[in-house]
Amino acid sequence: MEEDRLMEKCKALIIGGSAGSLDVLLKVLPVVRPDISFPIIIVVHRKHGTDSLLPVLLSTRTEMRVKEVDEKEAILAGTIYIAPSDYHLLIEQDQTFSLDYSEKINYSRPAIDATFQTAAEVYRSQLVCLLLSGSNADGVSGLKSVKIWGGTTVIQDPETAQVAYMPAQAKLNVQIDYELSIEAIGDFINLLP
């Protein structure tokens, strides 16, 4: 843990999760102050067509603008973006979104790895990626990329996760900068430079 290291100004926060992560988001978003100076990009494993109300549900928990990503959309600060179901969400060099329908990664589309990896190359040391509860290792390879490019890696404390496998795998395989309880995640986001 490098909790005392100085972080560069955050240009994007990406939160990835699977089973059990929605409960965390519903607890964390009300705590996050609406005037943050970076976008929050959320990639959760979603079944095609079954939870199109996710942006609506999350918007009831925050004053920030919440929307599902559109192809080639510019990424703006102070907005919460939700990866659409059945598409990988990629971050382009011009800081726009791209939607991709290629093969599933870790049995998932959207895959957290795809978003973490492409964002790492764009935002480098100004990227913060947070991996929440989940039942497979999606996100672990992505966090490795974040670390290689100088970004900040964060996981939910596996002890507090409804399904501990995803953050536990990250802890075993990646140098993690912060391991946070559910209660600490909102405060951490609010303190990002």
Query: What amino acid positions are annotated as catalytic residues?
Result: 18, 45, 138
Plot region of 126 (φ>0 → left; ψ -120 to 50 → alpha; else → beta) = alpha
Name the 3-class secondary structure at 112. Answer: helix
**From residue 48, how far is each of 13, 29, 160 by CA, in Å?**
24, 24, 28
Q: Which helix (H) or strand (E) holds 169?
A: helix 165-173
Alpha-helical regions (H) of the chain: 21-28, 54-59, 112-123, 140-148, 165-173, 182-190
* Token pair of 85 as six digits: 């179901």
